[in-house]
Amino acid sequence: MRSFKSSHKSGLAALLAAAVLVLVVLTAGCVSTPAEDDVSGTISLAGSTTVLPVAQAVAEVYMNNHQSADIQISGGGSGVGVTAITAGTADIGMLSRDLKDSEKTGNDFKEYVIGRDGIAIIANPANTVSELTLSQVKDIYQGKITNWKEVGGADMLIVLVGRDSASGTREFFTEFVLNKEDAAKTMQELNSNGAVQKSVAQTPGAIGYVSLEYVDNTVKAFTIDGVKPSVATVIDGTYKINRPLLMITKGEATGLAKSYLDFILSSAGQKILSENGFVPIA
């Protein structure tokens, strides 16, 4: 009994020691050397996961130029972006859709359009079809065309892949491509551009829609009404399927938030935007 008790104690002591060790390790990383700078402090961004990567990319460059600024970016989605600004838990909200009227009422939001995002209609590289018209895309998504042979391809069933019903991308797609009509009920719904891209990349019969930046060699983008989707065709206005990316603040932005927004809208910031596959404004 005696030896048992002491070993019990030693076990506890070992646990405590481990806990202390963990704490020490954690504190070790805490040491930071804030340098004096014109703009300093911490701001947080929350919202659309479509905007997140580019906001992050810009923030990294910004923070390299302003050593004591700390910009923290979390996702969640466009809805979370609005909620966080309303509640004051974030300084800047990110949206991949326009503000809804219900969200505008009672809130004093200041909107900044930071760029545009082209939506590419994608298919598996093995698909022999490479050109579609907008009305063909509409018929496919409404289940009126169900086989690729109807649009000049191989005899293969079309697998519809789309985004979830709360997605800003889908909302835009429904409005612009489907004229606000419903898509077929058999459409598979995924919650991110990356998921749609991966799904289409490995399903020979699939069709999907994603942000321009997600068009890589694993999928191919359809030429729509004779126009190939690219940053250039969105800028010159020939590729019509594109939408704005927003940042919002509560009232006019101040301090670090203003400085960061100014940087995104500057030519240096817009260059980072286009390097990440988004479409700069103006």
Partner 1 sequence: MTEHTGTKARSRAVRERAIKSIWLATALISAAAVVFILGYLIYTALPAFAEVGISGFLLNTDWNPTGSTPSYGIAALIIDTLLVTLGALIFAVPLGLAAAVYLSYLAPPKIRDTVKPIIELLAGIPSVVYGFFGMVVLCNFLRVALDIPSGFCWLAASVILGIMALPTIVSVSEDALFAVPKDYQEASLGLGATYWHTISRVLLPAAASGISAAVVLGMGRAIGETMAVMMVAGNAAIIPDPIWNVLSPVRTLTATLGIEMAEVATGSMHYYALFGVAVVLLLITLIVNLASAWVIKRMQTGQKTTPHISNKTKRYLKLAAVAAAAVIFFCFLTASLGILWAIGISAAVVAWYFGRKKISHKVAEKSSFVLIYACTAGVILILAVILWDIFSNGLPVISWEFLTESPKDLGRAGGIYPAIVGTLQLVAGAIIIALPVGIGAAIYLIEYARENFLTKALRTGNDLLNGTPSIVFGLFGFAFFVIYLNWGICMLAGQICLALMILPTIVRTTEEALKAVPNAQREASLGLGATKWQTIRKVVLPSAAPGILTGAILSVGRAAGETAPIMFTAVVFTKRFVSLNVFDPVMALPFHLFVLSTSVPGATAQQYGTAVVLIVIVMAIYLAAIALRRHYQNKLLR
- Tell whether residue 21 is a contact of partner 1 (CB under 8 A): no
Residues within window 118-177 making contact with partner 1, judged by CB under 8 A: 156-157, 159, 164-168, 170-171, 174
Among the listed residues 40, 41, 63, 235, the single contact to partner 1 using CB under 8 A: 63
With binding defined as CB under 8 A, does residue 229 bind partner 1? no
Q: How far is the CB of 226 from partner 1 (least distance, A)?
A: 26
- Does residue 262 bind partner 1 (CB under 8 A)? no
Residue 21 CB-half CA count within 13 A: 6
In the list 213, 233, 260, 279, the residue contacting partner 1 (rule: CB under 8 A) is 213
Single out the segment in contact with partner 1 by CB under 8 A; choices: 46-54, 131-139, 234-242, 244-252: 46-54
**Which of these segments, 8-16, 123-131, 134-142, 257-265, binds partner 1 (CB under 8 A)?**
8-16
Cβ distance to partner 1 smaller for residue 88 or 226? 88
Q: Which stretch binds partner 1 (CB under 8 A): 113-121, 211-219, 240-248, 259-267?
A: 211-219
DSSP track, the chain: -HHHHHHHHHHHHHHHHHHHHHHHHHHHTT---PPP-SS-EEEEEEE-TTTHHHHHHHHHHHHHHSTTEEEEEEEE-HHHHHHHHHHTS-SEEEESSPPPHHHHTT--EEEEEEEEEEEEEEE-TT-S--EE-HHHHHHHHTTS--BGGGGTS-S-B-EEEEE-TT-HHHHHHHHHTSTTPPPPTT-EEESSHHHHHHHHHH-TTEEEEEEGGG-STTSEEPEETTB--SHHHHHTT----EEEEEEEEESS--HHHHHHHHHHHSHHHHHHHHHTT-B---
**Residue choice 199, 223, 238, 274 for contact with partner 1 (CB under 8 A):** 199
Would you count residue 240 as binding partner 1 (CB under 8 A)?
Answer: no
- Rounded-to-integer distance, Cα 43 and Cα 203, Å: 42
Q: Which of residues 64-123 bind partner 1 (CB under 8 A)?
A: 70-80, 82-84, 86-90, 100, 102-103
> Is residue 40 part of the contact set for partner 1 (CB under 8 A)?
no
The answer to whether 6 contacts partner 1 (rule: CB under 8 A) is no
- Least distance (Å) between residue 58 CB and partner 1: 11
> Rule CB under 8 A: is residue 230 a binding residue for partner 1?
no
Q: Which stretch binds partner 1 (CB under 8 A): 13-21, 221-229, 230-238, 254-262?
A: 13-21
Rounded Cα–Cα distance for residues 83 and 77 (Å): 10
